[in-house]
Amino acid sequence: MAEHWFIRGEGGSVFKLDLPLHEAIADQLAKGYLVRVNKDGTGFVEATERTRPGVNAPKLDWVSWAVHSGAKPDDAEALTKTDLIEKYGTR
């Protein structure tokens, strides 16, 4: 039996997706356009707390961090990596 995740799409519907996730889906999830949820659609809480990416991390990691920190996905993607680090790199 394949491991799976439940994902809420941009329209609010919940989908069951088998792992590993397709690269395009994983990218949208990392950027905050899609959200991992529980089967009933309630918010999924990861077992470990997220940590801020290092300055050498890819821009995608910084976009994901910014969205996790409250930015809208489109706004975070529009910023440069340097802007993301300046705005979201401090605690």
| Backbone dihedral region for residue 41 (phi beyond 0: left; psi -120 to 50: alpha; all else: beta) | left
The pLDDT tens digits for 15-74 are 999 999 999 999 999 888 999 999 999 988 776 677 899 999 999 999 989 988 889 999
User: 60 with 80, same domain?
Assistant: yes
User: Which structural domain, as residue segments, surrounds residue 88?
Assistant: 49-91
Contact criterion met (CB below 8 Å) for 15 and 42: no
**pLDDT reported for residue 43:** 86
Q: What domain count does the chain have? A: 2
pLDDT-derived band of residue 75, with 50, 70 and 90 as boundaries?
very high
- The answer to whether position 43 is within a domain reads no
- The answer to whether position 68 is within a domain reads yes
Specify the residue for token string 């605690």: 91
Crossing angle of the two packed helices 59-68 and 81-88, in degrees rounded to 10 = 40
